[in-house]
Structure 1
């Protein structure tokens, strides 16, 4: 959710926003995190033994604290919890000082929160929930240019993504007794997943108005039954779906005809009604809302004609 929101912010929030540079930094960090997770997922897809994968999985503990885990891999004999870091440079881990020190190529040293401490917290929580299931944890370094240096006072394995298969094979040899049904337990975990909460919230007034071209990002104009780019002349009947998706991520999951016209800069309420015909209608008193599905960009053919 956070990464999708940040992508929407890059499209919709003006650079004059006081927090815009913060959002740029957060977007870059989130993009690096997603790239690192994709690298790890590439290796996980090659697993031949029965398993289930939960990615970006969140549970709430008894004190209402969130546990956001990069990967949970369920095997019949144990659960593997992975914390992924996509950081280049020489990485030195110090659990006692609760820090990860990264030495860049130019010699500059930077401090990051120690992923070992975060992973240990997740393992402790999972073990309290499922005391009969072995919980195994590891920190996976996804950046191929990283050099793993010192690992002071840590019992948690730390390795590069290409060692993941070997680590899993070793763990399967250590934990051989089946203790759970993989698919049943997977469904049980999904049922316990914490509800998604928006990381950032905006009003319609905060957003850039208009529909933007997927080809060149320029503003499009609505002409009869389609949107036409003023720059590259790309035509699209469903370009407003991305605007609706952005509105859902940043403002609300439902929208009125009037707010839709403001968002997409459409003058005719009747034209707006035709464009919104794919969306479910919600009546609240005298007000008609259109519910924006989570997968709004995929609910109709994306045709340029």
Structure 2
């Protein structure tokens, strides 16, 4: 349920309500909006004692949250959440762009990629140091050495670093080097990992599982929010259907639909969503037009020689052209791409 405080509520009133909720064995989550404060009460609402909450000092009203995901719901927070990492802003008037190679392969490769995507207007560098692959014989990433190269590229360019964490025991290590923790599609329902990421101070980019429903995706985000991390971005990277003409099916209707359900920003991954370089620009344009809050795109100095996902990676020229085209669409919608 939501405890909506009056505009005139004091800090003492809010702290008293927090203490009262905790005394009931429930968990309070405080959301401070531009006009008033609300407290999301999570737990068995039957023991809350609705009357005692409504009569609390400074309380305006107490409302139920009907959605199964409580903290992610727009019922709790009507204002869109804006997630920031260094210069990258995702949400609101900003369409954040994360770009770079699927995997870190060398110092020369990642630094060249960082310089190129920054020059084209991106504000974050993506790159995998840990690579969960379908085959155990495929390239698995450079691990901590790859993280060090990403951090060096950030030092040289100022870009925020977005990289995947694949196990709960690695969250602290990856957080040491990265600005944003990516949780990949395979791990969307790895609840131990979600909880660990929720305890990290780093924003989280949560990719939708290839067979996950929207509710399952939002409930996965709820694990991160419930653990204490409010900075969650949802990433639509395509779902598995019977079609074979693309790697996955990229449902751009997810953007307005999910935005109507949650205050969390929605990022689109047109690289995994299509699996073909020649389709990425068109789907990126469509994503911006649909109202996406961010893009994450695979870019490589030489896609033909990439150690992973070269068939869906853009070269530097293609990415720069994509940014120009998407920038024009963003401007027409009174938003800023970067």
TM-score for the superposition, normalised by structure 2: 0.24
Greater Cα radius of gyration, structure 1 or 2: 1
TM-score for the superposition, normalised by structure 1: 0.25
Structure with the larger strand share: 1
